[in-house]
């Protein structure tokens, strides 16, 4: 296997030295450059194949775009989305052990995307909770709901089902309670998400 040429970027000199020593112990890895984030202009002169970037506790104000496969080592989970947006190919906790670091370097070098499971939540959009049905709708409530979804007024629903408007209101209140909806529109939206009606 060919040696992977690594450019190590870290602003903290002690972290940089420690990481360089750790990377030197990894098989098939060669650190060809040790730089701070202020020295990136000369990065390509070292002809690295991959960047290992120790982000540190405070990411730089201007985040770099590497143009090379990069593995970022993060100290704080809240930085995940911003760091991922720079185009890095891998995210690992800053305190990852040598075995995980070796695996990550090899994976990123071979074109894979790698995200430590502890960081995945920071990259997923917040999910809207799926509505639940508190109690099954009666057949009549289902009919009222379908007509409601078609945009009919209470009076039109009453005429369509040959019942009084008062009875329509009764059924509407009941089905909105079962859906946990505060309005007619919300009832239709929740019912659609639950697959109770087809628009």
**What does each of the 199 residues of the chain score in pLDDT, given as a tens digit?**
578 899 899 888 888 888 888 888 888 888 998 988 778 887 888 899 999 988 877 666 566 777 788 999 988 776 787 788 778 888 898 888 888 888 889 888 888 888 887 776 655 544 445 556 777 888 899 899 888 888 788 999 999 999 999 999 999 999 888 888 888 878 887 887 777 775 5
SS3 36: coil
The closest alpha carbon to 179, from 169, 194, 168, belongs to 194
Region(s) of the chain under CATH 3.40.50.2300? 4-122
Q: Which residues pair with 74 in a beta bridge?
A: 56, 93
Is 139-193 CATH 1.10.10.10?
yes
Query: Where in the chain are all domains bearing CATH 1.10.10.10?
Result: 139-193
Give, in order, the Cα–Cα distances in Å from 11 to each of 17, 70, 75, 127, 128. 11, 16, 13, 36, 39
- C-alpha 27/C-alpha 156 separation (Å) is 76
Superfamily of domain 4-122 in CATH is: Response regulator (3.40.50.2300)
Distances (CA, A) of 2 to 27, 65, 92: 10, 26, 23
Q: Residue with structure tokens 């201007």?
A: 62
- Quickly count: other Cβ atoms within 10 Å of residue 132's Cβ: 11
Say what angle helices 165-179 and 139-149 make with each other, to 10 degrees. Answer: 90
């Amino acid at each position: 296997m060919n040696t992977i040429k690594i450019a190590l970027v870290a602003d903290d000199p002690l972290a940089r030295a420690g990481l360089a020593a750790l990377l030197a112990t990894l098989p098939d890895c060669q650190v060809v450059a040790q730089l701070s984030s202020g020295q990136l202009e000369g990065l390509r002169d070292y002809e690295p194949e991959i960047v290992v970037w120790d982000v540190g506790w405070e990411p730089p104000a201007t985040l770099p775009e590497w143009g090379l496969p990069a593995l970022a080592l993060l100290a704080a989970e809240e930085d995940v989305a911003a760091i991922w947006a720079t185009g890095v190919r891998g995210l690992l906790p800053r305190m990852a052990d040598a075995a995980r670091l070796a695996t990550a370097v090899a994976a990123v070098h071979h074109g894979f995307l790698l995200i430590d499971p502890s960081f995945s939540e920071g990259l997923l959009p917040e999910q809207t909770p799926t509505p639940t049905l508190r109690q099954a709708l009666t057949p009549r409530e289902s009919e009222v709901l379908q007509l409601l979804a078609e945009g009919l007024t209470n009076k039109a629903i009453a005429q369509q089902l040959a019942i009084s408007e008062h009875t329509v209101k009764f059924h509407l209140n009941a089905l909105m309670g079962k859906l946990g909806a505060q309005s007619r529109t919300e009832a239709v939206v929740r019912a659609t998400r639950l697959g109770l009606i087809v628009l």
